[in-house]
Structure 1
Amino acid sequence: MDRYAWLPDHQLHAAYSLAHADSLIEQAGHLALDHTRRDTVTLDHVVEGDMVSTTVTSVAPLPQALVRLASDALNQLRSTLEHVLYAEIEHRAGGPLSSEHARTVEMPCTPSANDLQKWAEKRPRRDIAVLQPGTALYRRIADLQPFQRRDSQDVHPLKILVAHTNHSKHRTPSLAATFVAAVQPDQPSDDIQVTPPLDRPIKVGDVLAIQPVGRVVEASLWPKIAIQRPHTDTWHILIHELRDLESWVRRSALPLLIAGSTDVSPLPPHLDITIGYADFRTAIGAAGTASAADRLEMLLGAEMAREALPGILLMHSHGSPHGQALAAWAAALSDDEALQRHESLRGFQGHDLDTAVRAMIDEVLNA
């Protein structure tokens, strides 16, 4: 049975637009990830009396391509919504709209049912019969409105998407900045005071930790790139914001607008549209089901696994003399292999873990 039978011919374009948004998110994500690896925040130790403050001395500027790619991805997601709505209106109307009516077509974002009705009945939009209250398409649009989120409209995906895209279209590109997600001493101690994560971008002069003079403790610093929501001024991890909005458009908004239900197989997000396809079925068959955010998460997880595996194996007496060989082996693992090997050790404890680690070391040494 065709998983995508719910997608009619006049809406096939949506799959290609989603693929473009996915590509933009991947590019933005890679830039963000690369940026956090390159001495994003530099620190110095400032002595004050008998205490030493670990203080930020510089913050690397964000690559400007990053914020623009994020803006482009958000705008592409909103454009996909608009294109699908327009195509659905023309299909239901039985032909092209007049230029006067076409200019009035947009995906509304309204705070109340009454406001949505006013939107539909405003001239010349009220002459578009398929958009009027009581029609199937009107009900589908209503189901996607922020007023459906009774607890807080500000966190409704459509409200967030519209806020981002209005800001980047009319004011400035998306606002992104570097935050410190966590500072983690390698050897935690009661005499080391770590500053809790700030709810604002990191800046020169911020103190991240305080410890007694003479106390030397290594610590890990975890930077993150965040994006600001224009309508609330709150900051959110950039790749999570893009992931959540992409998922809502692809899994909820488009199926509801097109099929009237979210109980359908969502379109696959990952498709190379730099090449041409003879038909839609060929294209969809070549698409990947993992979104850009999922692929980036897998990449990061694999990198962490490659770094962790040699240390785990070296803790075993059988592996301790072979550090160089174990490090080279881990570095050569593919992403899937690294994740699988690391995950395979997580289910063991005690003697079983010892046996599993020894077997993995033997496998490496005998390869």
Structure 2
Amino acid sequence: MDHYSWLPDHQQHVVYSLAHADDLIARTGRILHDFTARGTLELKNVTVGNTTRATVIGVAPIPQAVPRLTADALNQLRSTLEHVVYAEVVHQVGRALTPQEARSIEMPAAATTDDFDQWLKHRHRSNLAPLQPGAALCERLRDLQPFQRREPEQHPLRILVEHTNWSKHRTPSVAATLIGAVIPDGPAEGVLVSTAPNRPVEIGDVLASSPADVRVPLDIWPEISIQRPHCESWHNLLHELRDLEQWVREVALPALIAGTSRDVPPLPPHLDTTVGYRDFHAALAAARPTPAAARAARDLQVEVARDGLARIIALHPEGKKNIDVIKRWAAELNADEVLQKVESLQLPDLRQLDAVVRAMIADAGKTSGKQ
């Protein structure tokens, strides 16, 4: 608890709100993992003259839980900021707010200094001491405003507000499949990879082309993306959630509550809120430091590494003879084992590498023999 002594009693609610947002992001990540694992694109080689084109003929529909959970997570992050401002004003004035005053409390997101000054002049806000110019909370709010950046539209608070306004008043978050990368899997002489446009992939898009007599496998990386409403640009959905969650938790909340984000440890993001805790100390003891987006990224890293591990071992002469056994063995390794074994293959000496691969093949054979 001493680690978080900067968090006063009247702001302890933020830990549970952050945990709820983290859970929503984690659920989004799991759905996206399962969705992409089933395959998001259907391709067909279409030959035109002397050229073969890898052409999109089908795009899997994104589960509708994804845009809705994304919107819920973003709204939860914004609500957390609103709750902190409200709790701070109530704590500092030392009395219950009138209904009119309560309705006037919010987290502003001003594009200009004039906009912020006008926000402060609201007749029910201007009488509250914490929101008067020069007051600590007022200046903390000022420091977090989008106008503090050279490009206000790129400020995390502006992005968060635009996303949440859109999802509350228009539609759920706009999500779509884009092409992150297309990489030839092997010698690629004569292969032309199309530059992925910054828009959702469409049926008829050509991802790569090659001479008709050349066949090169392609690694295609679809990217589930979210559109920012105010500038209509597309961004990796989980990265957007990651960046905004991190800004709220590591920058905005410490700045609002403690007056700084540099000298205080960030609050823990991961806590099971379906469990009842005896007190706040017990909840903090159960919290974990790794946010949902980082956990999702590690899960993806493990899956890619697991697939790569089996493919690398299958290139060995002994591995080719036992490819099904190798795949079953790789599928049963836990996350830490997969990453450790992939790292052990990073050897420049071919004899050492051969010995390591043979040991893995033998281990896979032993595992298979136990079944």
Aligned runs of 1:64-213 on 2, under 5 Å? 64-150=64-150, 152-213=151-212
Task: Give 1:50 deviation, angstroms.
Answer: 2.1
Letter of the structure 2 residue corresponding to residue 97 of structure 1? L
Letter of the structure 2 residue corresponding to residue 130 of structure 1? P
Aligned runs of 1:1-367 on 2, under 5 Å? 2-150=2-150, 152-262=151-261, 263-316=263-316, 319=319, 321-346=321-346, 349-365=349-365
Task: Give 1:202 deviation, angstroms.
Answer: 0.4
Letter of the structure 1 residue corresponding to residue 178 of structure 2? F
Residue 201 of structure 1: SS of its match in structure 2? coil
Task: Give 1:340 deviation, angstroms.
Answer: 2.3
Moved over 6 A (4+): none
Task: Give 1:355 deviation, angstroms.
Answer: 4.4
In 1, distance between residues paired with 2:351 and 2:266?
44
- Give the gaps of 5 or more residues in structure 1: none
Task: Give 1:155 deviation, angstroms.
Answer: 1.1
Question: CA 1:350–1:148 in 2, change beyond 3 Å: closer, same or farther?
Answer: farther
In 1, distance between residues paired with 2:187 and 2:265?
47
**Alignment deviations for residues 170-191 of structure 1 (CA, whole Å, 9 cap, x no partner):** 1111111011112222234232
When normalised by structure 2's length, the TM-score is 0.93
Letter of the structure 2 residue corresponding to residue 182 of structure 1? A
In 1, distance between residues paired with 2:53 and 2:331?
36
Letter of the structure 1 residue corresponding to residue 119 of structure 2? W
Letter of the structure 1 residue corresponding to residue 102 of structure 2? A
More displaced, 324-333 or 198-207? 324-333
More displaced, 270-279 or 180-189? 180-189
Question: CA 1:174–1:349 in 2, change beyond 3 Å: closer, same or farther?
Answer: farther
Residue 223 of structure 2: SS of its match in structure 1? strand
Contact 1:178 / 1:223 at 8 angstroms: preserved in 2?
yes
Question: CA 1:57–1:141 in 2, change beyond 3 Å: closer, same or farther?
Answer: same
More displaced, 63-72 or 320-329? 320-329
Letter of the structure 1 residue corresponding to residue 238 of structure 2? I
Count of aligned pairs between the two proteins: 366
In 2, distance between residues paired with 1:348 and 1:79?
52
In 1, distance between residues paired with 2:361 and 2:68?
46
Contact 2:109 / 2:161 at 8 angstroms: preserved in 1?
yes
In 2, distance between residues paired with 1:323 and 1:49?
38
Task: Give 1:133 deviation, angstroms.
Answer: 0.6
Letter of the structure 2 residue corresponding to residue 187 of structure 1? G
Task: Give 1:114 deviation, angstroms.
Answer: 3.0
In 1, distance between residues paired with 2:3 and 2:36?
39
- Give the gaps of 5 or more residues in structure 2: none
Contact 2:188 / 2:216 at 8 angstroms: preserved in 1?
no
Question: CA 1:277–1:360 in 2, change beyond 3 Å: closer, same or farther?
Answer: same
In 2, distance between residues paired with 1:288 and 1:130?
33
Contact 1:192 / 1:209 at 8 angstroms: preserved in 2?
yes
**Alignment deviations for residues 123-176 of structure 1 (CA, whole Å, 9 cap, x no partner):** 1210111111101111111111111112x1111100100010011111111111
More displaced, 78-87 or 45-54? 45-54
**Alignment deviations for residues 62-81 of structure 1 (CA, whole Å, 9 cap, x no partner):** 11111000000000000000
Residue 260 of structure 2: SS of its match in structure 1? coil
In 1, distance between residues paired with 2:203 and 2:175?
17
Letter of the structure 1 residue corresponding to residue 160 of structure 2? L
RMSD: 1.9
In 2, distance between residues paired with 1:209 and 1:312?
25
Letter of the structure 2 residue corresponding to residue 205 of structure 1? G
Letter of the structure 1 residue corresponding to residue 234 of structure 2? W
In 2, distance between residues paired with 1:16 and 1:2?
18
Letter of the structure 1 residue corresponding to residue 159 of structure 2? I
Task: Give 1:8 deviation, angstroms.
Answer: 0.9
Contact 1:36 / 1:224 at 8 angstroms: preserved in 2?
no
In 2, distance between residues paired with 1:164 and 1:125?
25
